Amino acid sequence: MKIMVTAEEAVEKGVWPQVQTLFGRDAGEEFWPREEFILTEEQALELKLISKP
């Protein structure tokens, strides 16, 4: 399963620094709030964006 998260959602959920690292983005790099990132289920679980049933 693939999980999509926008930059704005990642910031709101407090995982933006981890998403930046996963996608090789620099801390000072400009981004669009609606920019989407596709995570694997494993990545989303690690970031606690989803939980296992």
CB-based contacts of 26-33 (< 8 A; 24+ apart in sequence): 31/7, 32/7, 33/6, 33/7, 33/8
* Structural domains counted in the chain: 1
- Asked if residue 27 is part of any domain, the answer here is yes
Whether 17 is covered by a domain: the verdict is yes
For residue 52, is it within any domain? no
The whole-number pLDDT of residue 27 equals 87
Domain containing 30 equals 2-46
The pLDDT value recorded for residue 53 is 76
- Residue 13 falls within a domain, yes or no? yes
- What's the pLDDT at 4? 97
Q: What are 12-45's pLDDT values in tens digits?
A: 999 999 999 999 999 889 999 999 999 999 999 9
Is position 42 within any domain? Answer: yes
Other C-beta atoms closer than 10 Å to the C-beta of 47 total 18
Residues 5 and 41 sit within 8 Å (Cβ to Cβ): no
Q: What is the pLDDT of residue 28?
A: 86
